[in-house]
Structure 1
């Protein structure tokens, strides 16, 4: 298996489980630019790669871009996906990890990623920006995996107390969307709260050192902030439930639909395993992201598990509502029709490309 690790370029932007323990650790503020190397193959993936060479047919390759949260870090750490796909003469190349979904979509634009998953809001931003992907599956919302956090000794106790304050968010992502929805529900004009656009790496020290007053963020940053820095929530993700989305590069789907089918089915099996083995999944996630034991313990206790599901008309409508709302709030520059961004009907992938009612 060829694994891609990021080179860090600090002049670019860095910045609840599609059935999993949802988590994204505090990362560098640099955007990840993937390059290929074979340095960190596990025994399982080395065996899978060796087995795949026994097949006389030309080996297929799928490049999976992933962020440090959700199901995919667990899948990579477990090493079973590589073996399953190697048996079908498919080699997995991991591209990442990335600090957030936006730079993964940049990698798709650069022709470096074929298959990926991330949040619906950054996915919408990518679609608005013309990223050549289509949506093929989703994960149900996990509102308990998001929160607006403040320091333990802060005078801020409710959204009303955010008036005149600074809140760190990721531009065009879950954090910004959650903040805007919380303000709207509290009838607070968004202009009365200053949004400060920061990556997770920069947002944590900014809030702990008092440069901003609050932080709108997702797991595992929520657990990291609460366990390791004593931050506390003033609002949860209930105000803005978010889907996860699985996306495929359009040309890759057209050329290698069988590889997409095999990859998606294998990942769904991994999601099913994570649902049945939540503690083990949390442990694997912790290993994949170097989280501290107490943080991993909290994530395991929450038992947040990602599921991979075919798209339905209701889900598409829900994502459309989010896209329309983001446009109305000027968080994205133009409107899009989500139905036009769903993967087209594809032989062999009818379960995922024929919309369920």
Structure 2
């Protein structure tokens, strides 16, 4: 089961925003919507599963092609290379990509309660509180600048510790999962399916992202190139509205959604149920409240040297696709 999950890739970590800009070209004007194909970047078949299970794309005039990635970092590399029109992630991976110069805009926010991000420890670790992390090695998944790293930094701050009080090692989730299961890693900051599997394999939740320890926001985003294509921009706006409907469906049909995760992602029933309960539940316009909250994430991570240069969150958003 773990291998199938690993092949499916990364989970929830949080969704990234579609955006819009640019003018019509004569080629765009002549092209009909049924000739438009959106290449949607996905992680762990998360969006595919939600959309398929809810039937949200029925009747769409455009075509959707899915591009699958193990994590946010390769997803954004694909967006930069033009291999995906969109992607999604939690807030910090989106900020990391923007800081690194990837040409895209955040255009829609997604929200959950933050419980899909957690620091888990092995039951024999002797770690009983966040303060016990001082001097310890903590594995963070996946790359530098993940939402799991923000949880670690913020939890340390809230407990009177600094980021330099721990020794951070970065491992891709599949590698970290294997090391955690074997006992080679005893403290793991992770998310989504990997958090759920780690808890099944001898792990104990030390702290999760609820109660403001993470923002709970994800973003849906689109490349500048895709947004400059007026027909794609129109299709993206429709996709966002349909995704909003699909997410509402997951919150009212958790059993059906969990079953879909089992069937499409290879998860067992208990892991699927955990993932279904932690899903994003809303697609939201990016407003001043979203920008203010996520700017706090950016500022903290810039302060510890993880996000450099810093990002102006409001200037990195385009609100014209989703009103």
TM-score (norm 1): 0.76
| Cross-structure match for 2:59 | 84
5 Å-filtered alignment, 1:226-237, equals: 226-227=199-200, 229-237=201-209
Deviation of 1:133 after TM superposition, in Å, equals: 0.9
Q: Are 2:130 and 1:159 equivalent residues in the alignment?
A: yes
| Cross-structure match for 1:225 | 198
| Cross-structure match for 1:51 | none
1:307 to 273, 278, 282: 282
Tell me: CA distance 1:298–1:81, structure 2 relative to 1, closer, same or farther (3 Å).
closer
5 Å-filtered alignment, 1:109-258, equals: 109-170=80-141, 171-227=144-200, 229-238=201-210, 239-255=213-229, 256=231, 257-258=233-234
Look up the SS of the partner of 1:138 in the other structure: strand
Does the aligned pair in 2 maintain the 1:114–1:252 contact within 8 Å? Answer: yes
For residues 176 and 208 of structure 1, what CA distance do their matches in structure 2 show? 20
Deviation of 1:329 after TM superposition, in Å, equals: 0.9
1:280 to 256, 262, 271: 256
2:42 to 66, 74, 85: 66
Deviation of 1:99 after TM superposition, in Å, equals: 1.6
CA RMSD of aligned residues (A): 2.4
Higher relative contact order (CA 8 A, sep 6+): 2
1:322 to 285, 290, 297: 297
Deviation of 1:204 after TM superposition, in Å, equals: 1.4
Tell me: CA distance 1:118–1:84, structure 2 relative to 1, closer, same or farther (3 Å).
farther
Look up the SS of the partner of 2:219 in the other structure: strand
Partner deviation per Cα, 1:145-200 (whole Å, 9 max, x = no partner)? 22110112221111121122111103111111111111111112322211010011
Q: Which runs of 4+ in 1 moved over 3 A?
A: 28-31, 55-58, 297-300, 302-305
TM-score (norm 2): 0.84
For residues 245 and 91 of structure 1, what CA distance do their matches in structure 2 show? 22
Deviation of 1:253 after TM superposition, in Å, equals: 1.7
Tell me: CA distance 1:83–1:138, structure 2 relative to 1, closer, same or farther (3 Å).
same
Deviation of 1:305 after TM superposition, in Å, equals: 4.5
Does the aligned pair in 1 maintain the 2:215–2:293 contact within 8 Å? Answer: no
Look up the SS of the partner of 1:308 in the other structure: strand
For residues 137 and 276 of structure 1, what CA distance do their matches in structure 2 show? 22
Deviation of 1:303 after TM superposition, in Å, equals: 5.9
Does the aligned pair in 2 maintain the 1:145–1:237 contact within 8 Å? Answer: yes
For residues 185 and 327 of structure 1, what CA distance do their matches in structure 2 show? 17
Partner deviation per Cα, 1:81-134 (whole Å, 9 max, x = no partner)? 44332xx2x1111111x1211111110011011122211000000000111111
Structure 1: tracts of 5 or more residues without a match: 1-24, 32-54, 353-357
Structure 2: tracts of 5 or more residues without a match: 11-30
1:259 to 220, 226, 235: 235
Partner deviation per Cα, 1:23-75 (whole Å, 9 max, x = no partner)? xx8525999xxxxxxxxxxxxxxxxxxxxxxx9876111100001164x0323
Tell me: CA distance 1:58–1:295, structure 2 relative to 1, closer, same or farther (3 Å).
closer
1:99 to 66, 70, 80: 70
Count of residue pairs the alignment pairs up: 294
Deviation of 1:263 after TM superposition, in Å, equals: 1.4
Look up the SS of the partner of 2:106 in the other structure: strand
Does the aligned pair in 1 maintain the 2:118–2:191 contact within 8 Å? Answer: yes
Identify the range of structure 1 (56-65 vs 212-221) with the bigger mean alpha-carbon deviation.
Answer: 56-65
Does the aligned pair in 1 maintain the 2:5–2:266 contact within 8 Å? Answer: no
